[in-house]
Amino acid sequence: MSKKSWAVATLIPFAAATMVATAPAASAKTVPAQASGRCSSGSHWTMKAKPDNGRMELELEVDSNRNGQRWTVRITDNRHLIFAGTKVTVAPSGSFEVRRLTANRPGVDHFVGVARNIRTAEVCVARVNR
């Protein structure tokens, strides 16, 4: 084996190992726990939860395809209230969204969101565990 081919044969595995060692970790972006479903009169909900810098990020979206609807919303994390308020659906999709950062409690986080349309009494019950 010539010196040149020996050097190439030695450097290729070293270069490959260096690229693998310096590549960003595949788990650097955490995939959120996600669930979706239908509400009592046909609206649609989606709930996502994922870790964010030692906390939990939660997102609840309700899409009724109608702008201007008022909904009361309550969200709990392991029975601790993390949001209570009124949201209004907005253009262009006729939806509203609630985002919250909350403590990452020990064990599994059980998120439950309940949204109720004030005018029609339609109810959405969203659940996701993370």
> Per-residue pLDDT tens for 54-98?
999 999 999 999 999 999 999 999 999 999 999 999 999 999 999
Confidence at 31, pLDDT banded by 50, 70, 90:
confident
Give the distance, in angstroms, between the CA of residue 118 and the centroid of all CA atoms in the same chain: 26
Query: Residue 5 phi/psi, 5° resolution?
Result: -70, -35
* DSSP H stretches of helix in 44-92: none
Question: Computed over its alpha carbons, how large is the radius of gyration of the chain?
Answer: 23
For residue 25, pLDDT over 70 is answered with: no
Q: Over 50: is that where the pLDDT of 11 sits?
A: no
Name every residue whose Cβ is closer than 8 Å to that of residue 80 and which is 6 or more positions away in sequence: 102, 105
Alpha-carbon distance of 37 to 24, in angstroms, equals 34
In order of start, what are the domains of the chain with their CATH numbers?
A: 29-129 (2.60.40.10)
Q: How confident is the model at residue 23 (pLDDT cuts 50, 70, 90)?
A: very low
What pLDDT does residue 33 have? 96
